[in-house]
A and B are shown apart, each in its own frame.
Chain A
Amino acid sequence: MTCQEFWNTMPELTGEADAEAAAHRRECPVCAAAFDTHGALAAGLRAVAGEFGRLKAPGRVEAKLLAAFRGQAGLVAPPPARRWWSPVLAWGAAAVVVAAAFPLFVGRGALPRAPLANRPAAAGTAAIDWTALLPPDMAGDAQAGAFIPLPDADRLPQDEDLNVVRVEVPRSAMIALGYPVTADRAAERVRADVVMGSDGLARAVRFLDE
């Protein structure tokens, strides 16, 4: 057996099971020395394995996985999966809402507050009669459409301090509320009545020039 043939058997991996390889090692001091070197390396690798053998993942990993397992098994609601597009979607939705609502607040300023007598007296979650909030000078506008409650407005307490302001907005703002608007009319100004809550946020809106 030549040296090359000896190493082709990869004796450091097989433990020199081949008798011919063992004979070569006895005959060749260079291969014998190299073989011993491999033995030292194997011992070193075992020492590394021993040194790091007790390492394991921190306990918090198990806790997270257990929560995920329970969620998967339907034991509790799983944490919401974070998708790459969810922040984009959230910010996009926020931008649309802000773009639609912003012009509603920059109109010609607040008109006189609706008299308290005109406000619905009943509290609770029943549908709000938005037109009852209108001051007399705004109530008789025949061209006005119906009030459109903004999200969750119907669930607000009806004894909330509300008032109505009339503003002008670009017609494109109507898109967010489901109105069809053609591109050539998007820049037109339309009048709108906006019901404002005491927190300064809009509760409902109607357009006067649909």
Chain B
Amino acid sequence: MTETPAEKDDELLLRMRSGDEQAFIALYRRRQAAIYRFALHMSGSAATAEDVVQEVFLALIRDDCGYDPELGTLAGYLFGIARKLVLRQLERRRTDVALGADEDDLAIPAMAASPDPLAILTRKEGIAALRRAVQMLPPRYREVVVLCDLEEVDYSEASFVLGCPIGTVRSRLHRARALLLEKLHRDGHSRPLDALDPARCSI
């Protein structure tokens, strides 16, 4: 039996549960890349990302965590497992680097050389710098940026993955973007930070 074009995740999962190998392959190929990228952006390590993908789908095969379609989508459920695994890894490695912490080795030289760092964000060096800045965010902000901005997960699904209300997702994303801008401008020194701080304008 093969995957039909519009077959939903839950239908594939049902077939997979009955031992249909093709359904498992289809589900894996549909979802693995996003899980891999999420783990990669979160950990900064391809080996960790690979391990996470493997563990996430092993959990699905063994039905370890009890997916409930009433609570959220399968994609959200898979992201949720990946998130727990990544956070565990980060805790183990203790590589979390908060913004404002010792960042000498994590400076963004490409941005510093530019008269307007934001203008080059979509160029190659800007992309690399922005990615590094994302990886320097504290995990609680990094995960929301990776999910909502990089993987384009909607707020509702992100709230399921992160286990918090949608409002919290939005406020974390708002704060995360402010931290990113702060980081980029601190390294670029091209514009006064005051101009970027919404709370300091006068109206």
Assign chain A's interface to a size class: 35 or more
Stretch at the interface among B1-9, B24-32, B69-77, B97-105: B24-32
Q: Do B53 and A10 touch (CB < 8 A)?
A: no
**Chain A, 1-58, CB within 8 A of any chain B CB:** 2-4, 6-7, 10, 12-13, 24, 27-28, 30-31, 33-34, 37-38, 40-49, 51-53, 55-58
**Chain B residues near A155 (CB-CB < 8 A):** none
Q: Do A49 and B149 touch (CB < 8 A)?
A: yes
Chain B interface residue count, CB cutoff 8 Å, equals 52
CB < 8 Å neighbour of B134 from A10, A47, A48, A66 = A48
In the complex, what residue of chain A is closest to B40 when comparing beta carbons? A55
Whether a CB of chain B sits under 8 angstroms from the CB of A69 is: yes
Q: Do B199 and A7 touch (CB < 8 A)?
A: yes
CB < 8 Å neighbour of B21 from A3, A45, A73 = A73
A40 to B131, CA, bound (A): 14
Q: Do A48 and B127 touch (CB < 8 A)?
A: yes
Question: Are A3 and B149 also in contact (CB < 8 A) when A44-B121, A68-B61, A70-B21 are?
Answer: no
Q: Do B196 and A37 touch (CB < 8 A)?
A: yes
**Chain B residues near A88 (CB-CB < 8 A):** none
Q: Do B130 and A44 touch (CB < 8 A)?
A: yes
Q: Do B174 and A12 touch (CB < 8 A)?
A: yes
Most chain B beta-carbon contacts within 10 A, residue among A47, A58, A65:
A65
Q: Do B201 and A37 touch (CB < 8 A)?
A: no
A38 to B118, CA, bound (A): 9
Most chain B beta-carbon contacts within 10 A, residue among A13, A56, A69:
A69
**Chain A residues near B54 (CB-CB < 8 A):** 57, 61, 64-65
- Binary per-residue interface labels of chain B (111-141) against chain A in the complex, 1 for a CB within 8 Å, 0 otherwise: 0000000110110001100110010000000
Q: Do A69 and B61 touch (CB < 8 A)?
A: yes
Whether a CB of chain B sits under 8 angstroms from the CB of A62 is: yes
Whether a CB of chain A sits under 8 angstroms from the CB of B33 is: yes
**Chain A residues near B29 (CB-CB < 8 A):** 62
Q: Do B203 and A43 touch (CB < 8 A)?
A: no
Question: Are A24 and B203 also in contact (CB < 8 A) when A40-B119, A52-B37, A68-B58 are?
Answer: yes
Q: Do A65 and B170 touch (CB < 8 A)?
A: no
**Chain A residues near B53 (CB-CB < 8 A):** 57, 61
Q: Which 3 A-B pairs have the closest CB atoms?
A: A44-B121, A56-B33, A30-B201
A37-B118, A68-B58 given; 12 more Cβ-contact pairs under 8 Å: A3-B199, A4-B198, A7-B198, A13-B173, A34-B197, A41-B130, A49-B149, A49-B150, A65-B28, A65-B54, A65-B57, A70-B21
Q: Can you spell out 13 A-B residue pairs with CB atoms less than 8 angstroms apart?
A: A10-B174, A28-B201, A38-B181, A40-B118, A47-B130, A48-B127, A52-B40, A62-B28, A65-B24, A65-B54, A65-B58, A72-B62, A75-B19
